[in-house]
Structure 1
Amino acid sequence: MGTPRKGVHSTRGRNDGIPLGRIAGIPVYLAYSWFIIAAFTVIAYGPALLVRNHSLGIGAYFVAFAYALLLALSVLVHELAHALSAKAFKWPTEKIVLNLWGGHTQFETFIASPGRSVVVALAGPAANFLLAGAAWLMLGAGVFTGVGDTLTNIFMWANLLIGIFNVLPGLPLDGGRLVESAVWKATGSQEKGTVAAGWAGRVIVVVLVVWFIALPLLSGNTPDLSYMLITILVCSFLWMGASGAIKNATLRGRLHLVSAAALAEPAVGIPNSATVADVLRVAPYGTPAVVICGPDGRPQGLVDPAATAAVPASEISTTLVTAVSTPLAEGAYVPRTSSGQELIQYLAQLNGGEYAVVDDVGIVTGLLRQQAVVTAITGKVARRSGRL
């Protein structure tokens, strides 16, 4: 919960949930999944509050719901701390979303450093510790009585636990940024730091499962069902987040291998008014690849070698190249100098799996296939697909 996430594109709107407005210019959303944790809080804590104070009656469930709202407030302050500390470094914040797992702060593109990453990450838990301290002072001063005192006490412990939990040294928790930044500083590679922090997160999951589930079972005790369910849900979330961080960092570490010039196979361009005979002159054995270009010079299609070979010799001079070609997707051409994240983002917006590669003056120099790009990123042969 609360780990800052860096992104390039947003998914604003209905997918984010209910808009709650803006705080310091930052859009805040309440995801529909939040109502799941709110309902769980009411069901789990309502009866417990009723046992402790019979006079509450049905009001115990309203108090439990108030507790869920206080948790949401705690998470909101946590995420705002991330966002406002990032603002000091001129990192643009895209949105804050409160959800089933707590919440997250989504940033737009920014340039990070190990030190700044730690400051932004730990600002969240620090805010929770401050809230816990303020609640402790109010309890000591006897500011509230009755239900108010109960909620203040719960608020104090909730923020203390949120703060402690989030400083555990493993992703996706905020404390994972400490591990990431330390390895990043030592190796000069943020990707290596992220992978290390992701594995640390997995270790934390194993420790939590052993401590809260395995040891009680081995000792002959029967763990509380709701307690066990919370542990399983939290550990599942942590494991998915840690695994996602490892996967994304591994992919980022391979981006330097993604280059249009390096991955493209040789190709030549011919006008769409050419004939099959012209194709056979430039590619007599099916290589290099032949790209058809329109009157404006833009790539339009790709010659099919099998279809070309099937044209009778007596007809090669009269059969237009368009009869033995397949169309390229609209705009399916990339500059020869494109590479890395820029190339990936551009290809992700295109349909089709083949892209002409052109030089600075628009001359076709190669053909880039989606499979080659995916293989370079993942190290695995890609399945045939229409998009990256």
Structure 2
Amino acid sequence: MSGPSSPSRRPGLRVGSFGGAPIYLSGGLLIAAVVLAVLVAPGMSDLMTLAPGGGAPILASIAFAVLFLGSVLVHELAHGTVARWCGIEVRAYTLTFWGGHTTFTALDRPGASAAVSAAGPVSNLALAGLGWLVLQAPLPEVAGVILASLVYANVVLAVLNLLPVPPLDGGHLLEAVIWGATGERGRAMVIVGWVGRLLAVLTLGAVVASAVRGAAEIVWSVWLVLIAVVLWTSATRSIRVGRARQAARGFDLRPFLRPAAVMTTEDPLPGQRGEGEGSLGALPPIPWGMSVGLTVVVDGDGAVVGILDADALAAIPPQARAGLTVASVVRRVPSAGVRSLRGADALAEISRALAGGDVAVVTGAHGVLGTVWREDVVRALGDQGAAGR
């Protein structure tokens, strides 16, 4: 499972969608399937009594690898399904060399984070239980070996994912528990990060100990070293982000908000000759003494489309504006939906939005709150950093 993510280039080949979110297969997935098939091939041969040689074990290994990757996809789809139940938008599902991840707009509540994290391992246990029930019926040997291996693999996948370290589901689950108990997500991320570092060191130590005893297998040793590196990297990132969140607890978005007028894409262009209602003049009056810098454009459902491009509007002579709507002069800009105007979540959300442009529209539960300029935030944070040194 993965957390919030900003839109970026496609992470792989799109093969479909689920619940409106695209499903991608990365280039490393084929490598993972080959490696997995090679690793399980000897075991498949040992399990087969009727056809231990020939091509049967190879075909069984390939079938197992493909079906196991299907189990990983079910795991990710379970994350996304529960996320949608919790009112969280799912952006994409991606299967990679290391398994898979699901990206969301935000996991900003500990209860929702815990539920989404637990969904993946629970789905694998459900698959294992279903497979075990099927195994109670007579099956051809090859099918039985493949299915029994899948049952075992799904149990292992569920158990490993419940280890309390990032980036595994157990790490997110532990983070959610600590977050809910303390009310501080940053502290939870730091604690989970140190647990992850400890497990990474223990994993690497186990590889070294096996090598010293002469009992290490090269393929598994390389695999475990790679896992240790991933665990250490993810744990370090968790600590870094957690400390950043702790430092951002005092962040307040309100001083950066600039008031904005709001128009819809269907409103006629302002400044038309003989215009009446439906222009800027028909908007609710702005409070005395408050200046409005930008005009935010929304669609018929109230979703932010962008801002009114003043330069594009000025390029259209007033006599040529008749019949044109605001949709013709919209400049696309990112938007940030915030649940709170203070704290690390507000800073994280506005930072993600401003990564895609110099200005972002901020929305809340009741619509557009205003606009925020990147230069204002960067300048203020830079001044705070200088004052702290």
TM exceeds 0.5?
A: yes
**Corresponding residue number in structure 2 for 1:168:** 163
Give the drift of 1:59: 4.2
Write the distance in 1 (CA, Å) between the matches of 2:14 and 2:186: 34
Q: C-alpha offsets along residues 289-309 of structure 1, whole Å, 9 cap, x if unaligned?
A: xxxxxxxxx9xxxxxxxxxxx
Of the three residues 4, 7, 12, the one matched with 1:6 is: 4
Q: Is the 1:191–1:250 Cα contact (8 Å) retained in structure 2?
A: yes
Q: Give the equivalent residue in structure 2 for 1:80.
A: 77
**5 Å matches for 1:312-331?**
none
- 1:18-37 alignment to 2 at 5 Å? 18-37=13-32
Written as runs of structure 1 = structure 2, the 5 A alignment for 1:180-219 is 180-210=175-205, 212-218=206-212
- Residue 87 (structure 2) aligns with: 90
Distance 2:104 2:168 in 1: 16
Query: Which residue in 1 is equivalent to 2:306?
Result: none
Cα distance in structure 1, aligned partners of 2:354 and 2:77: 34
CA displacement at 1:154 relative to structure 2: 0.9
Aligned partners of 1:374 and 1:380 also within 8 Å: no
CA contact (8 A) 1:4 1:106 kept: yes
Residue 247 of structure 2 aligns with which residue? Answer: 254
1:146 to 1:17, Cα distance in 2 relative to 1, 3 A: same
In structure 2, the residue matched to 1:102 is 99
* Inter-CA distance 70–260: structure 2 relative to 1 (3 Å threshold): closer
Q: Which residue of 1 aligns with 2:113?
A: 117
How far off its partner does 1:379 sit?
10
Contact 1:78 1:123 in 2 (8 A): yes
Q: Does 1:44 align with 2:39?
A: yes
Mark the CA change 1:376 to 1:240 in structure 2 (over 3 Å): closer, same or farther: farther
Structure 1 position 376, deviation (Å): 5.2
Question: Aligned partners of 1:377 and 1:256: how far apart in 2?
Answer: 14
1:227 aligns with 2:220: yes
Find the residue that maps to 1:222 and give its secondary structure. coil
Structure 1 pair 142/36, CA: closer, same or farther in 2 (3 Å)?
same
1:240 to 230, 233, 244: 233
Counterpart residue number, 1:340? 347
TM-score (ref. length: structure 1): 0.65
CA deviations over 1:103-123 (Å, ceiling 9, x no partner): 00100135x322221111011
Give the conservation status (yes or no) of the 8 Å contact 1:254–1:376: no
Does the 8 Å contact 2:47/2:145 carry over to 1? no
Gaps of at least 5 residues in structure 1 are: 264-297, 299-330, 332-336, 352-361, 382-388
- Report the Cα distance in structure 1 between the residues aligned to 2:385 and 2:351, rounded to whole angstroms: 10
Question: 1:69 Cα shift?
Answer: 0.8
Moved more, 183-192 or 28-37: 183-192
> CA separation of 1:156/1:345 partners in 2, compared to 1, >3 Å: closer, same or farther?
closer
Does the 8 Å CA contact 1:121/1:177 hold for their aligned counterparts?
yes
Q: Which amino acid aligns with 1:37?
A: A
The answer on whether the counterparts of 2:131 and 2:147 sit within 8 Å (CA) in structure 1 is yes
**Contact 2:117–2:172 (8 Å) recurs in 1:** yes
Which consecutive unaligned segments of at least 5 residues does structure 2 have?
A: 257-309, 311-332, 334-340, 359-370
Structure of larger gyration radius? 1
Aligned-residue offset at 1:147: 1.1
Residues 371 and 262 of structure 1: is their aligned pair in 2 closer, same or farther, counting only changes over 3 Å?
same
1:254 is displaced (CA, Å) by 2.8
Matched residue SS, 1:175: helix
Determine the C-alpha separation between the residues in 2 that align with 1:370 and 1:18. 36
Aligned length: 292
Is the contact between residue 97 and residue 105 of structure 1 (CA under 8 Å) also seen in structure 2? yes
How many angstroms apart in 2 are the aligned matches of 1:251 and 1:31?
30
| Residue number in structure 2 paired with 1:17 | 12
CA 1:43–1:178: 2 relative to 1, 3 Å: closer
Give the C-alpha shift of residue 216 in structure 1: 2.8
Identical positions, percent: 27
